[in-house]
Structure 1
Amino acid sequence: MFAHGDRLTRRDLETISDERRRYELVDGTLLVSPSPRPLHQRVVARLLAALTPVCPADCEVLPAPVDVVLDEFTVLIPDVVVGRREMFTDRALAGVPVLAVEVVSPSSRHIDHHLKPARLAAAGCPYYWVIEPDEPTLSCFRLEGNAYALEGEATGEEVLHLDRPYRLDLSPDDLVSRY
Protein backbone atom coordinates (compact mmCIF):
# COMPACT_ATOMS: atom_id res chain seq x y z
CA MET A 1 0.00 0.00 0.00
CA PHE A 2 2.84 2.40 0.84
CA ALA A 3 6.42 2.29 -0.46
CA HIS A 4 8.88 0.82 2.03
CA GLY A 5 10.86 3.50 3.84
CA ASP A 6 8.60 6.38 2.84
CA ARG A 7 7.69 8.88 5.53
CA LEU A 8 3.90 8.86 5.72
CA THR A 9 1.68 11.94 6.01
CA ARG A 10 -1.79 12.56 7.39
CA ARG A 11 -3.11 12.33 3.82
CA ASP A 12 -1.71 8.79 3.56
CA LEU A 13 -3.38 7.95 6.86
CA GLU A 14 -6.74 9.10 5.51
CA THR A 15 -6.57 6.50 2.71
CA ILE A 16 -6.62 3.56 5.13
CA SER A 17 -10.12 2.07 5.26
CA ASP A 18 -9.64 -0.73 7.83
CA GLU A 19 -11.82 0.19 10.83
CA ARG A 20 -10.88 -2.83 12.99
CA ARG A 21 -7.62 -1.25 14.13
CA ARG A 22 -6.38 2.16 15.22
CA TYR A 23 -3.85 3.84 12.92
CA GLU A 24 -1.67 6.71 14.12
CA LEU A 25 1.41 8.52 12.80
CA VAL A 26 4.45 9.59 14.78
CA ASP A 27 7.03 11.48 12.76
CA GLY A 28 5.81 9.77 9.59
CA THR A 29 5.92 6.24 11.05
CA LEU A 30 2.70 4.21 11.13
CA LEU A 31 1.55 2.79 14.49
CA VAL A 32 -1.14 0.10 14.46
CA SER A 33 -3.10 -0.90 17.57
CA PRO A 34 -5.67 -3.68 18.01
CA SER A 35 -9.22 -2.93 19.09
CA PRO A 36 -9.50 -2.29 22.85
CA ARG A 37 -10.70 -4.68 25.56
CA PRO A 38 -14.07 -4.20 27.34
CA LEU A 39 -12.27 -3.02 30.51
CA HIS A 40 -10.50 -0.35 28.46
CA GLN A 41 -13.79 0.84 26.99
CA ARG A 42 -15.46 0.84 30.41
CA VAL A 43 -12.80 3.24 31.69
CA VAL A 44 -13.25 5.47 28.63
CA ALA A 45 -17.04 5.55 29.11
CA ARG A 46 -16.76 6.39 32.83
CA LEU A 47 -14.20 9.09 32.15
CA LEU A 48 -16.44 10.66 29.48
CA ALA A 49 -19.31 10.67 31.98
CA ALA A 50 -17.12 12.42 34.57
CA LEU A 51 -15.49 14.98 32.24
CA THR A 52 -18.46 16.04 30.14
CA PRO A 53 -20.41 17.89 32.88
CA VAL A 54 -17.35 19.91 33.97
CA CYS A 55 -16.07 20.72 30.49
CA PRO A 56 -16.44 24.42 29.67
CA ALA A 57 -18.72 25.45 26.80
CA ASP A 58 -15.80 26.39 24.52
CA CYS A 59 -14.43 22.83 24.70
CA GLU A 60 -15.67 19.35 23.83
CA VAL A 61 -14.85 15.91 25.28
CA LEU A 62 -14.73 13.06 22.76
CA PRO A 63 -13.70 9.40 22.84
CA ALA A 64 -11.42 7.68 20.34
CA PRO A 65 -11.22 7.44 17.47
CA VAL A 66 -10.67 11.16 16.88
CA ASP A 67 -7.53 12.14 15.01
CA VAL A 68 -5.42 14.80 16.70
CA VAL A 69 -3.32 16.35 13.95
CA LEU A 70 -0.21 17.83 15.55
CA ASP A 71 1.59 18.30 12.23
CA GLU A 72 1.74 16.76 8.76
CA PHE A 73 3.65 13.72 10.04
CA THR A 74 2.15 13.23 13.53
CA VAL A 75 -1.48 12.22 14.00
CA LEU A 76 -2.41 10.73 17.38
CA ILE A 77 -5.64 9.18 18.64
CA PRO A 78 -5.94 9.62 22.41
CA ASP A 79 -8.51 7.41 24.14
CA VAL A 80 -10.23 10.58 25.38
CA VAL A 81 -9.50 14.06 24.07
CA VAL A 82 -10.66 17.49 25.20
CA GLY A 83 -10.26 20.18 22.58
CA ARG A 84 -11.41 23.68 21.86
CA ARG A 85 -14.55 23.54 19.74
CA GLU A 86 -13.19 25.89 17.07
CA MET A 87 -10.25 23.52 16.48
CA PHE A 88 -12.43 20.56 15.50
CA THR A 89 -12.89 20.11 11.77
CA ASP A 90 -15.22 17.59 10.15
CA ARG A 91 -12.29 15.10 10.17
CA ALA A 92 -10.11 15.81 13.21
CA LEU A 93 -8.90 18.03 16.00
CA ALA A 94 -6.55 20.27 14.05
CA GLY A 95 -3.99 21.24 16.64
CA VAL A 96 -3.13 20.80 20.27
CA PRO A 97 -5.72 19.40 22.69
CA VAL A 98 -6.39 20.87 26.14
CA LEU A 99 -6.26 17.36 27.64
CA ALA A 100 -5.30 13.97 26.22
CA VAL A 101 -6.01 10.77 28.15
CA GLU A 102 -4.63 7.30 27.50
CA VAL A 103 -5.99 4.09 29.00
CA VAL A 104 -3.05 1.70 28.99
CA SER A 105 -3.44 -1.66 27.25
CA PRO A 106 -0.81 -4.40 27.27
CA SER A 107 0.08 -3.57 23.65
CA SER A 108 0.26 0.21 24.22
CA ARG A 109 2.28 0.55 27.45
CA HIS A 110 5.45 2.01 25.92
CA ILE A 111 3.54 4.24 23.51
CA ASP A 112 1.23 5.64 26.23
CA HIS A 113 4.00 6.22 28.79
CA HIS A 114 6.76 7.51 26.53
CA LEU A 115 6.02 8.17 22.86
CA LYS A 116 2.66 9.97 23.05
CA PRO A 117 3.47 12.19 26.04
CA ALA A 118 6.74 13.25 24.41
CA ARG A 119 4.94 14.30 21.20
CA LEU A 120 2.08 15.98 23.06
CA ALA A 121 4.46 17.86 25.37
CA ALA A 122 6.52 19.05 22.39
CA ALA A 123 3.31 20.31 20.78
CA GLY A 124 2.29 22.16 23.97
CA CYS A 125 -0.65 20.05 25.24
CA PRO A 126 -1.10 21.37 28.81
CA TYR A 127 -2.51 18.20 30.41
CA TYR A 128 -1.92 14.47 29.88
CA TRP A 129 -3.47 11.68 31.96
CA VAL A 130 -2.61 7.98 32.02
CA ILE A 131 -4.94 5.34 33.44
CA GLU A 132 -3.69 1.84 34.27
CA PRO A 133 -6.95 -0.17 34.45
CA ASP A 134 -5.43 -3.42 35.74
CA GLU A 135 -3.97 -1.86 38.92
CA PRO A 136 -6.07 0.57 38.76
CA THR A 137 -4.12 3.84 38.83
CA LEU A 138 -4.80 7.35 37.55
CA SER A 139 -1.77 9.60 36.93
CA CYS A 140 -2.36 13.24 35.98
CA PHE A 141 0.44 15.27 34.41
CA ARG A 142 0.75 19.00 33.73
CA LEU A 143 3.11 20.53 31.20
CA GLU A 144 6.01 22.38 32.83
CA GLY A 145 8.39 23.84 30.29
CA ASN A 146 8.77 21.18 27.63
CA ALA A 147 8.00 18.08 29.75
CA TYR A 148 5.19 16.68 31.89
CA ALA A 149 5.35 16.79 35.69
CA LEU A 150 3.17 14.57 37.85
CA GLU A 151 0.44 16.74 39.36
CA GLY A 152 -1.52 14.00 41.11
CA GLU A 153 -1.91 10.26 41.32
CA ALA A 154 -4.40 7.85 42.90
CA THR A 155 -4.57 4.07 43.13
CA GLY A 156 -7.53 1.81 43.89
CA GLU A 157 -10.12 3.44 46.15
CA GLU A 158 -8.14 6.65 46.64
CA VAL A 159 -9.87 9.77 45.36
CA LEU A 160 -7.85 12.27 43.38
CA HIS A 161 -9.09 15.84 43.89
CA LEU A 162 -8.27 17.84 40.76
CA ASP A 163 -8.50 21.58 40.23
CA ARG A 164 -6.93 21.62 36.74
CA PRO A 165 -7.82 21.53 33.97
CA TYR A 166 -11.26 21.13 35.58
CA ARG A 167 -12.49 20.76 39.15
CA LEU A 168 -13.13 17.05 39.43
CA ASP A 169 -12.86 14.16 41.92
CA LEU A 170 -11.89 10.77 40.43
CA SER A 171 -11.28 7.34 41.91
CA PRO A 172 -9.51 4.71 39.79
CA ASP A 173 -11.77 2.00 41.27
CA ASP A 174 -14.85 3.90 40.09
CA LEU A 175 -13.42 4.05 36.57
CA VAL A 176 -12.99 0.26 36.34
CA SER A 177 -15.96 -0.94 38.39
CA ARG A 178 -18.54 -3.02 36.57
CA TYR A 179 -21.29 -1.36 38.67
Structure 2
Amino acid sequence: MTAVTQLPYGRAFTWADLEAMPDDGHRYELIDGVLIVSPAPRPLHQRVVAEVTTLLREGCPPELEALPGPVDVRLAEDTVVEPDVIVARRADLTDRGLLHAPLLAVEVLSPGNRGVDLVSKRNRYESSGCLSYWIVDPDIPSLLELRLRDGRYVETAHVKADEAFHTDAPYAVSFTPAALIS
Protein backbone atom coordinates (compact mmCIF):
# COMPACT_ATOMS: atom_id res chain seq x y z
CA MET A 1 0.00 0.00 0.00
CA THR A 2 1.32 3.46 -0.91
CA ALA A 3 1.43 6.12 1.80
CA VAL A 4 -0.13 9.47 0.97
CA THR A 5 1.05 12.71 2.56
CA GLN A 6 -1.69 15.32 3.01
CA LEU A 7 -0.40 18.77 2.08
CA PRO A 8 -1.85 21.94 3.60
CA TYR A 9 -4.24 23.84 1.38
CA GLY A 10 -4.74 27.60 1.50
CA ARG A 11 -2.03 28.30 4.06
CA ALA A 12 1.74 28.35 4.42
CA PHE A 13 3.64 25.21 5.36
CA THR A 14 4.87 24.95 8.96
CA TRP A 15 7.40 22.97 10.96
CA ALA A 16 4.61 20.52 11.90
CA ASP A 17 3.79 19.90 8.22
CA LEU A 18 7.45 19.25 7.51
CA GLU A 19 7.54 16.61 10.25
CA ALA A 20 4.87 14.67 8.32
CA MET A 21 6.85 14.53 5.06
CA PRO A 22 8.04 11.06 3.98
CA ASP A 23 11.61 9.85 4.42
CA ASP A 24 12.08 9.22 0.70
CA GLY A 25 15.60 10.46 -0.06
CA HIS A 26 14.54 13.99 -0.96
CA ARG A 27 15.53 17.07 1.00
CA TYR A 28 12.49 18.95 2.31
CA GLU A 29 13.01 22.52 3.47
CA LEU A 30 10.72 25.46 4.23
CA ILE A 31 11.49 29.06 3.47
CA ASP A 32 8.82 31.52 4.56
CA GLY A 33 6.17 28.78 4.41
CA VAL A 34 7.10 27.59 0.91
CA LEU A 35 8.05 23.93 0.58
CA ILE A 36 11.31 23.34 -1.31
CA VAL A 37 12.04 19.77 -2.42
CA SER A 38 15.51 18.92 -3.69
CA PRO A 39 16.80 15.66 -5.18
CA ALA A 40 19.76 13.81 -3.74
CA PRO A 41 22.98 15.77 -4.34
CA ARG A 42 25.59 14.76 -6.90
CA PRO A 43 28.87 13.08 -5.82
CA LEU A 44 30.96 16.26 -6.32
CA HIS A 45 28.65 18.11 -3.93
CA GLN A 46 29.01 15.39 -1.30
CA ARG A 47 32.80 15.30 -1.70
CA VAL A 48 32.96 19.02 -0.94
CA VAL A 49 30.60 18.63 2.04
CA ALA A 50 32.83 15.87 3.42
CA GLU A 51 36.01 17.95 2.97
CA VAL A 52 34.51 21.08 4.56
CA THR A 53 33.23 19.00 7.49
CA THR A 54 36.64 17.39 7.97
CA LEU A 55 38.45 20.75 7.89
CA LEU A 56 35.99 22.29 10.33
CA ARG A 57 36.18 19.34 12.73
CA GLU A 58 39.99 19.51 12.89
CA GLY A 59 40.08 22.83 14.74
CA CYS A 60 36.69 22.69 16.41
CA PRO A 61 36.68 23.72 20.08
CA PRO A 62 35.08 21.17 22.43
CA GLU A 63 32.02 23.32 23.16
CA LEU A 64 31.16 23.49 19.43
CA GLU A 65 30.32 20.83 16.88
CA ALA A 66 30.71 20.76 13.09
CA LEU A 67 28.09 18.56 11.45
CA PRO A 68 27.32 17.68 7.84
CA GLY A 69 23.74 17.92 6.66
CA PRO A 70 21.07 17.06 6.69
CA VAL A 71 20.43 18.64 10.09
CA ASP A 72 17.18 20.56 10.56
CA VAL A 73 17.76 24.21 11.45
CA ARG A 74 14.52 25.83 12.53
CA LEU A 75 14.81 29.55 11.86
CA ALA A 76 11.07 30.22 12.35
CA GLU A 77 7.80 28.29 12.50
CA ASP A 78 7.60 28.57 8.70
CA THR A 79 11.33 28.28 7.91
CA VAL A 80 13.30 25.06 8.39
CA VAL A 81 16.47 24.61 6.36
CA GLU A 82 19.09 21.88 6.06
CA PRO A 83 22.48 23.51 5.48
CA ASP A 84 25.16 21.31 3.94
CA VAL A 85 27.39 21.87 6.99
CA ILE A 86 26.78 23.68 10.28
CA VAL A 87 28.84 24.72 13.27
CA ALA A 88 26.78 25.13 16.43
CA ARG A 89 27.18 25.07 20.19
CA ARG A 90 26.86 21.47 21.39
CA ALA A 91 24.49 22.64 24.13
CA ASP A 92 22.11 24.08 21.50
CA LEU A 93 21.69 20.86 19.50
CA THR A 94 18.57 18.82 20.23
CA ASP A 95 17.54 15.38 19.04
CA ARG A 96 15.56 17.17 16.26
CA GLY A 97 18.35 19.52 15.19
CA LEU A 98 18.93 23.17 15.94
CA LEU A 99 16.09 25.46 17.01
CA HIS A 100 17.80 28.69 15.88
CA ALA A 101 20.55 29.89 13.56
CA PRO A 102 23.93 28.16 13.74
CA LEU A 103 27.18 30.04 14.27
CA LEU A 104 28.18 29.02 10.72
CA ALA A 105 26.08 27.72 7.84
CA VAL A 106 27.80 26.32 4.75
CA GLU A 107 25.97 25.74 1.48
CA VAL A 108 27.57 23.97 -1.48
CA LEU A 109 26.05 25.07 -4.77
CA SER A 110 24.47 22.57 -7.14
CA PRO A 111 22.97 23.32 -10.55
CA GLY A 112 19.43 23.16 -9.16
CA ASN A 113 19.89 25.12 -5.93
CA ARG A 114 21.90 28.22 -6.84
CA GLY A 115 19.04 30.70 -6.49
CA VAL A 116 17.83 29.24 -3.22
CA ASP A 117 21.33 29.30 -1.66
CA LEU A 118 22.42 32.65 -3.09
CA VAL A 119 19.20 34.56 -2.37
CA SER A 120 16.52 32.87 -0.26
CA LYS A 121 18.73 31.07 2.24
CA ARG A 122 21.16 33.97 2.40
CA ASN A 123 18.31 36.33 3.35
CA ARG A 124 16.92 33.94 5.98
CA TYR A 125 20.33 33.20 7.53
CA GLU A 126 21.01 36.93 7.67
CA SER A 127 17.65 37.85 9.24
CA SER A 128 17.88 35.00 11.76
CA GLY A 129 21.29 36.10 13.03
CA CYS A 130 23.58 33.40 11.58
CA LEU A 131 26.99 34.96 12.26
CA SER A 132 28.84 33.44 9.27
CA TYR A 133 27.65 32.04 5.95
CA TRP A 134 29.91 30.31 3.45
CA ILE A 135 28.85 29.63 -0.12
CA VAL A 136 31.05 27.10 -1.90
CA ASP A 137 30.90 26.69 -5.68
CA PRO A 138 32.61 23.39 -6.56
CA ASP A 139 32.44 24.06 -10.29
CA ILE A 140 34.82 27.06 -10.17
CA PRO A 141 36.02 26.15 -7.30
CA SER A 142 35.46 29.14 -5.01
CA LEU A 143 34.33 30.16 -1.55
CA LEU A 144 32.43 33.29 -0.54
CA GLU A 145 32.44 34.17 3.16
CA LEU A 146 29.75 36.48 4.53
CA ARG A 147 29.74 37.75 8.11
CA LEU A 148 26.99 39.45 10.02
CA ARG A 149 27.78 43.07 10.89
CA ASP A 150 25.09 45.38 12.26
CA GLY A 151 22.41 42.92 11.17
CA ARG A 152 23.58 42.70 7.53
CA TYR A 153 25.92 40.33 5.71
CA VAL A 154 29.23 41.78 4.58
CA GLU A 155 31.52 39.96 2.16
CA THR A 156 34.74 39.26 4.08
CA ALA A 157 36.41 36.86 1.63
CA HIS A 158 35.97 35.58 -1.91
CA VAL A 159 38.70 33.16 -2.91
CA LYS A 160 39.12 30.90 -5.93
CA ALA A 161 41.10 27.78 -6.81
CA ASP A 162 44.50 27.86 -5.04
CA GLU A 163 43.97 31.18 -3.24
CA ALA A 164 44.24 30.76 0.52
CA PHE A 165 41.15 31.23 2.66
CA HIS A 166 41.75 32.19 6.30
CA THR A 167 39.04 32.90 8.82
CA ASP A 168 38.57 33.15 12.55
CA ALA A 169 34.78 32.82 12.53
CA PRO A 170 33.60 30.82 14.32
CA TYR A 171 37.23 29.71 14.93
CA ALA A 172 40.50 29.64 13.00
CA VAL A 173 40.38 27.62 9.76
CA SER A 174 42.57 27.83 6.63
CA PHE A 175 42.38 26.04 3.28
CA THR A 176 42.06 26.60 -0.46
CA PRO A 177 38.86 25.99 -2.46
CA ALA A 178 40.81 23.67 -4.78
CA ALA A 179 41.58 21.40 -1.80
CA LEU A 180 37.84 20.81 -1.37
CA ILE A 181 37.43 19.02 -4.70
CA SER A 182 40.59 16.91 -4.86
What TM-score comes out, normalization by structure 2 length? 0.94
2:112 is aligned with 1:107: yes
Aligned partner of residue 111 in structure 2, secondary structure: coil
Contact 1:128 1:140 survives alignment (8 Å) = yes
Contact 1:118-1:147 at 8 Å conserved across structures: no
* Partner secondary structure for residue 70 of structure 1: strand
1:89 counterpart = 2:94: yes
Query: C-alpha displacement at 1:95, in angstroms?
Result: 1.1
Tell me the residue number matched to 2:3. none
Match of 1:14 among 11, 19, 39: 19
Per-residue CA shift, 1:141-165, capped at 9, x if unaligned? 1011222111112101111122222
12-21 or 65-74, larger mean C-alpha shift = 12-21
Report 1:58-69 matches (<5 A). 58-69=63-74
Where do 1:40-59 residues align within 5 Å?
A: 40-59=45-64
Give deviations 1:119-160, integer Å, cap 9, x for gaps.
011011100000000000011110112221111121011111
Write the mapping of 1:22-171 to structure 2, written as runs, cut at 5 A: 22-171=27-176
The answer on whether the counterparts of 2:159 and 2:177 sit within 8 Å (CA) in structure 1 is yes
Q: Work out the CA distance in 1 between the residues paired with 2:64 and 2:168.
A: 17
CA distance in 2, matches of 1:57, 1:105: 31
CA contact (8 A) 2:85 2:107 kept: yes
- Aligned partner of 2:98: which letter? L
C-alpha separation between the residues in 2 aligned to 1:19 and 1:169?
A: 36
Normalised by the size of structure 1, how large is the TM-score?
A: 0.95
Greater CA drift, 23-32 or 157-166: 157-166
Gaps of 5+ in 2: 1-5
Instruction: Show CA shifts across 1:31-73 (max 9, x none).
Output: 1111100000000000111000211111111111100011111
After TM superposition, which residue ranges in structure 1, 4 or more long, deviate above 4 angstroms? none
Unaligned runs of 5+ in 1: none
Instruction: Give the residue type in structure 2 aligned to 1:89.
Output: T
* 1:55 aligned counterpart, secondary structure: coil
**Count of aligned pairs:** 177
Task: Give the superposed CA RMSD.
Answer: 1.0
| AA matched with 1:12 | D
* 1:170 CA drift (Å): 1.3
